Amino acid sequence: MALVVEKFGGTSVADAAHIKAVADHVVRRHNHGDQVVLVVSAMGSETDDLLRLASDLSDNPPARELDMLITGGERKACALMAMAISALGVTAESFTGSQAGFLTDDTHTNAKILEITPERITDAVAAGIVPVVGGSQGASPQRNVTFLGRGGSDTTAVALAHAIGADYCELYTDVPGVFSADPRIVDKARLMATVSFDELLEMTASGCPKPAMRAVELARSHNVELHVRSAFTWMPGTTVTREETMERAIISAVTHDTSEAKMTVSGVADKPGVAGQLFRALANADINVDMIVQNVSAQGVTDISFTVPIDQLATALDIATGMQTDLGATSVSGDDGIARVNLIGAGMRTNPGVAAQMFETLAAAGINIEMISTSAIRISCVIRADDTERAVNVLHDAFELDQPRDQRS
């Protein structure tokens, strides 16, 4: 008998039939003796539909009101789910984030959890009731409704699992688990039975869409056992573990991301403070800068390249262009035709051969590398967006990611 938090994403509660399928699963599990706590996202495209309504009414809706509006999606889904479970003879009760005890800060549309007082949830579980909690929501100290942001239901589930001392947390999505590459573009992509927190973090930070990175970070820091599963196949999926890094390089996956653009500020003086000045200005405008590369200095001047989300490129260009004289830069340019491919795995820093093999593989396929950055468990290359699919496939082949780790050459 286990105490389990199960989170169901939007596609797994998209309509009455899907909600019933989830309810059926929950009731079986409950009758099997497990104690189940559910966290649900908004149904299908509900959040987008609500945002469309908001944009019909205002070019710049107040964040507080957006939160009141959007959290209604999860609230609706959790009430419906509680009805569906009750209809199968197991008592279920829905809870808003506030009712479930989620106290957050007041950063509307992207609130952070401050504290959870889950007494209503633990009381319900003790009474044999299945609590169904609205995901991605809470209440601020000012008693306003807050939204944790897109993908926040994963965070709700992990935080709740920690708060109630659940044995583990299952994140049910529309994919069967974590793959060695995007199965939509790599035929041989392999479903990974296990992945480490660090690897999964790097994967979600570099293009792997599920689960939400923030939830993985939270699970990692609170040591919450995480399972990524499909609400369509109900197969075991991927277990996220706290596995030790091996001495030998073990490549887990290749991910890709086409949501970013590249910016280059050229010919700036290679002296302290210049980069700080630039990135402070971008940070003040909430530009989400990623992957920064500063090229080798030649004659005391240097080029700084970095990536930003495509939809922030125009703003970032405006800011950098406005600072061009201050920075002493010769030019500022942007490029939204790029993609990033990332190789994820343990032990890469101490195995330089991995990076070399990655660059050789891309070169052999005639794919030019425009930027490189590495972490302890990731190597990222910026390439032309048109080359993405080919790059992911040749890398997946080169590192034999379709084979279980112990069967690679």
Q: Phi first, then psi: what are they for 355, rounded to 5°?
A: -60, -45
Task: State the minimum distance, in angstroms, from the CB of residue 160 to a second copy.
Answer: 18
Residue 258 burial (C-beta neighbours within 10 Å; 0-12, 13-18, 19+): middle
Q: Phi first, then psi: what are they for 147, rounded to 5°?
A: -115, 135
Choose between 75 and 214: whose C-beta lies nearer to a second copy.
Answer: 75
Contact 208/253 with Cβ under 8 angstroms?
Answer: yes
Choose between 86 and 321: whose C-beta lies nearer to a second copy.
Answer: 86
Structure-block tokens of residue 276: 């700080």
Task: State the minimum distance, in angstroms, from the CB of residue 24 to a second copy.
Answer: 12
Task: State the minimum distance, in angstroms, from the CB of residue 87 to a second copy.
Answer: 4
DSSP assignment of 207-264 equals T--SS-HHHHHHHHHHT--EEEEETTT----EEEE-PPPPSS-EEEEEEEE-SEEEEE
3-state secondary structure of 116: strand
Choose between 23 and 164: whose C-beta lies nearer to a second copy.
Answer: 23
Task: State the minimum distance, in angstroms, from the CB of residue 66 to a second copy.
Answer: 8
Report the DSSP beta bridge partners of residue 173: 230
Contact 368/288 with Cβ under 8 angstroms?
Answer: no
To the nearest 10 degrees (0 to 180), the angle between helices 63-87 and 16-31 is: 60
Sign of the torsion formed by the C-alpha atoms of 314, 318, 319 and 320: positive
Residue 302 burial (C-beta neighbours within 10 Å; 0-12, 13-18, 19+): buried
Task: State the minimum distance, in angstroms, from the CB of residue 180 to a second copy.
Answer: 38
Q: Phi first, then psi: what are they for 87, rounded to 5°?
A: -65, -20
Task: State the minimum distance, in angstroms, from the CB of residue 91 to a second copy.
Answer: 8
Choose between 53 and 246: whose C-beta lies nearer to a second copy.
Answer: 53
Choose between 102 and 399: whose C-beta lies nearer to a second copy.
Answer: 102
Task: State the minimum distance, in angstroms, from the CB of residue 17 to a second copy.
Answer: 9
Burial 285-301 (b: 16+ CB within 10 A, else e): eebebebebeeeeeeeb
Long-range contacts of 317-322 (CB under 8 A, 24+ apart): 317/263, 319/281, 319/282, 319/285, 319/287, 320/263, 320/265, 320/278, 320/281, 320/282
Task: State the minimum distance, in angstroms, from the CB of residue 49 to a second copy.
Answer: 10
Choose between 30 and 256: whose C-beta lies nearer to a second copy.
Answer: 30
Choose between 69 and 203: whose C-beta lies nearer to a second copy.
Answer: 69
Choose between 18 and 378: whose C-beta lies nearer to a second copy.
Answer: 18
Choose between 72 and 177: whose C-beta lies nearer to a second copy.
Answer: 72
Task: State the minimum distance, in angstroms, from the CB of residue 96 to a second copy.
Answer: 8
Angle at 215 between CA 121 and CA 259, to 5 degrees: 140
Instruction: Report the interface residues with a second copy, using CB under 8 A.
Output: 16, 19-20, 23, 50, 53-54, 56-62, 64-66, 68-69, 72, 75-76, 78-80, 82-84, 86-87, 92-94, 96, 99, 120, 143-145
Task: State the minimum distance, in angstroms, from the CB of residue 188 to a second copy.
Answer: 40
3-state secondary structure of 79: helix
Choose between 36 and 203: whose C-beta lies nearer to a second copy.
Answer: 36
Q: Is 244 left (phi over 0), alpha (psi -120 to 50) or beta?
A: beta
